[in-house]
Copies of this chain bind each other. A is one copy, B any other.
């Protein structure tokens, strides 16, 4: 199992993510707890995870976030391993992450525990099962805060109940191009779902990648939440498939191959331009205009040439980074 973005997606569905918010009984939420309490939780959670007999424990790494620099943290956000909040507040924080980065546990982000599982393609149940397994494992060893009426207790009321946030990353170039995403987002919000850009809240769409996720956690079972999200996701996929038919074949081909031409030839590529063209390549793959030996190459290049990921390789100057990005993409798509 490689990194999620190296083994991702078929045509429209890029990846699935499950996040569970959990807290330990008798200790204040991270925003109000002491340094001693933070250390206590860190130890308890790491112990619980690392001592588990499950085979995945062997693949877990413990990362002390205050030993990590800004660039490394930023690159982790770009790879979707940690949240932007966790990256900006790394003081005494610990991240437990699997080698392939598909499983991560942020300790003392907004809640004591944020368990995250990313899987390629549309795999809500599969991802949930893994997260659930980790949740069970932790529950066996730690006193998880749970209330008969409210369910799992969380710092933010919007997570009360299941503490589950499930999301699916979709590539929606046709709907975006027709300006239909905002209507879609509006309708989704009415039934308790959110549609956001690639890098979460407040981020515009990038590469026509959108995350569809559930918002309701209270008064709904995990099963119902997942089924609800799956059903809406399938509807959106079907709309995207219909929407692309409204475009003329030659026009799409022209736009797809121009993007390929730019990516194979440019010497300077900003992140924004790169994403615009990568999106076209993904569309080209979906419509079978482009066949790549490694079908996950576009999303892999998209993630690996994010600013932080390039800075990680020593490219801190923005101009040089745009050149490095162009170089990586050029040789990748040769």
Q: State the CA gap A253–B322 with chains docked (Å).
A: 14
**Interface secondary structure of A, over-half rule:** helix
Interface range, A side:
10 to 19
Mark interface residues in A232-259 (1 if CB within 8 Å of B CB, else 0): 0000000000000000001101100110
Asked if B266 contacts A264 (CB within 8 A), the reply is no
Asked if A258 contacts B266 (CB within 8 A), the reply is yes
User: Smallest Cβ distance from A45 to chain B, in angstroms?
Assistant: 48
Within 8 A of B (CB), among A250-306: 250-251, 253-254, 257-258, 260-268
Among B254, B260, B267, which residue has its beta carbon within 8 angstroms of that of A257?
Answer: B267
The count of identical subunits is 2
Chain B residues closer than 8 Å to A263, beta-carbon distance: 261
Asked if A261 contacts B266 (CB within 8 A), the reply is yes
**A326: interface (CB < 8 Å):** yes
Asked if B257 contacts A323 (CB within 8 A), the reply is no
Given contacts A250-B323, A323-B250, contact A266 B262 (CB under 8 A): no
Q: State the CA gap A253–B330 with chains docked (Å).
A: 13
Asked if A262 contacts B267 (CB within 8 A), the reply is no
Chain B residues closer than 8 Å to A261, beta-carbon distance: 258, 260-266
User: Smallest Cβ distance from A286 to chain B, in angstroms?
Assistant: 17
Chain B residues closer than 8 Å to A258, beta-carbon distance: 261-262, 265-266
The 5 closest A-B pairs by CB, nearest first: A261-B261, A261-B265, A254-B267, A257-B265, A254-B268
17 cross-chain CB contacts under 8 A: A250-B267, A250-B323, A251-B268, A253-B267, A254-B268, A254-B326, A257-B265, A257-B267, A258-B261, A260-B261, A260-B265, A261-B261, A261-B262, A261-B263, A261-B264, A261-B265, A262-B262
A254-B267, A260-B261 given. 8 additional CB < 8 A pairs?
A250-B267, A250-B268, A251-B268, A254-B266, A254-B326, A258-B261, A261-B263, A261-B264
